[in-house]
Structure 1
Amino acid sequence: MECEDEKSMADSISKRRTRTQIMQRKKRIEELLRSAYSSDKDHLSHFPNFRHYNTNGLSLFLESGRGNKLSYDLKNYIQKLLKVNMEGPYGAEWPAEEKVKRRDMSSPEALYIFVYNKESMIGFVQYRFTIEEEIPVLYAYELQLEPAYQGKRLGKFLMQLVELIACNNGMGAVVLTVQKRNTSAINFYLNKLRYDISSISPSKVYQLMGVIGQEKSYEILCKTFDHETKAVLEES
């Protein structure tokens, strides 16, 4: 009886420790996200060398922005560029997806990197700090460049900046969604930037579950920065 009491007490202590560890981890993640979203935080300020892009005959500069501070003209520009670049890859899904993107772009959680030439804006990145599978991540919602500025290594430059911002804010990975029809984007992320199809992507989930005949039109990709995140978002 005494041994059973000691075992019961040990189990109780172990459970309390586990609950405490879970709560401490949750608190750390919440603090990370709160810090990353600090109202006075300009994520570009930590990387002054990325303020300008002077390569392949381009002379561009970058600025930060937030969704709840977009001007009317900026909203119109974002909507038009999204339609130019994404209506094709989304196909019949575009009308519904366009409404979602229009709503998301003005969210207080939507953070931006705007890219300008001397005359006007030529593209943007939209990203957020969020949680995937209990891991804090930077989710890259959009990387959109005008067609004339694509294929000039600007996209790689911007994603390198996004990865630096993620690491600087303690995120475990950069995560993004890409349409399967957008083969050039899939090639860009998988082959040029060394992203991986995440274990949370529908194709991997269905494969793990042994589900046949069900497919989604997109993949979820990720680049992880530590072993714990890799085990969860790539290998589980």
Structure 2
Amino acid sequence: MGSTALSTNLHSNKQSNITTQRMPKRRKILEKKKAVDELIKAASAVKDHLASFPSFRQFDTNGLSVYLESGRGDKLTSSLKRRLQNLLKDNMERHYGPEWAAEEKVKRWEMVTPEARHILLYEASHNEEKVILDRDDSLVGFVHYRFTLEEGLPVLYVYEIQLESRVQGKGLGKFIMELLELIACKNCMSSIVLTVQKANVVAMNFYTSKLRYAISSISPSRVDPLIGAQKNYEILCKAFDNEAKAILEA
């Protein structure tokens, strides 16, 4: 056998060995992706995430009585859509400033898509020891969340938590976030991720100081400080496993 042929065979064998080594790694990556996709699909298919946490269907603290119900973006009634949109505008327009007009259109579309999951918050009034739930007047807040993919990990992404000003500061926000963390863990999500406007100092302090959320490694300010300085928001997260901590909090 000539040297050229020998060299060719050695090169061929080397390439074959490399390909063989790569196959298990590629297979592992594909299997992991499939497993993550199935987790997200299964979580999104659950009709009522509150069913697993009956004690969180009602909030009765500091003189406030609120009932929680599950909803889906494409199942909201027209009147309910308007109430959610009005509350969103009342709370967020001042934080976005001149960017609000464009941002509002995006948010209105996001909250009514089939992927959108909602927790609807209704205040209950009491009359002669009988609870009366008037849906036209009693909505005091809502949560919009989704199960999605972030950096290859399954996460519960909180799009909105909006509460009427008169029910804020009574522990309801913390109660909701505890519920969302339970829902995330129940459905094998690796982390909770959310976006906060920098101008919303109260919300930023609430998440980072009270609830110990971290500015994520995927937030603009962490990816590139120069670009981040030009952005009006931060991405926060709370990871539930070591892989998510390494990727989203590192």
Question: What TM bracket, shorter-length normalisation?
Answer: over 0.9
1:216 pairs with 220, 225, 231, which one? 231
- The 1:213/1:50 distance shift into structure 2, 3 A limit, reads closer
CA contact (8 A) 2:220 2:228 kept: no
Moved more, 117-126 or 215-224: 117-126
1:41 CA displacement:
2.5
Distance 1:233 1:221 in 2: 9
Contact 2:221 2:227 in 1 (8 A): no
Give runs of aligned pairs for residues 82-161 of structure 1, distance below 5 A.
82-118=88-124, 119=134, 120-161=138-179
CA shift at 1:12, angstroms? 1.6
Residue 34 of structure 1: aligned partner: 41
- Displacement of 1:8: 3.6
Looking at structure 2, the residues matched to 194 and 213 of structure 1 have their Cα atoms a distance apart, in angstroms, of 21
2:171 aligned with 1:164, yes or no?
no
Q: Output the CA distance in 2 between the equivalents of 1:212 and 1:102.
A: 27
Identical residues among aligned pairs (%): 56
Q: 2:19 — aligned with what?
A: 12
Aligned-partner Cα distance in 2 for 1:115–1:26:
35
- Secondary structure of the structure 2 residue equivalent to 1:54: strand
Q: 1:225 to 1:80 in 2, by over 3 A?
A: same
Q: Residue 71 of structure 1: which of 63, 74, 77 is its match?
A: 77
State the distance in 2 between where 1:80 and 1:213 align.
30
Give matches, 1:191-202, under 5 Å. Answer: 191-202=209-220
SS in 2 for 1:14: helix
> Are 1:227 and 2:239 an aligned pair?
no
Normalising by the residue count of structure 2, what TM-score does the alignment of the two structures yield?
Answer: 0.88
Q: Which runs of 5+ in 1 are unaligned?
A: none
Rounded Cα–Cα distance in structure 1 between residues aligned with 2:230 and 2:219 = 11
Residue 214 of structure 1 and its aligned partner are, at CA, apart by 4.8
Which segment drifts farther, 211-220 or 191-200?
Answer: 211-220
Structure 1 letter corresponding to 2:63: G
Q: CA deviation at 1:34?
A: 1.1
Q: Which residue of structure 2 lines up, in the alignment, with residue 185 of structure 1?
A: 203
- DSSP 3-state at the match of 1:37: helix
Q: What's the CA shift for 1:9?
A: 3.5
**Alignment-mate amino acid for residue 26 of structure 2:** R
Structure number with greater Rg is: 2
Could you tell me how far 1:37 is from its partner in structure 2?
A: 1.3
- Structure 2 counterpart of 1:18, one-letter code: K
Runs of 4+ in 1 over 4 A off after TM superposition: 1-7
TM-score (ref. length: structure 1): 0.94
> How many positions carry a matched residue from both structures?
231
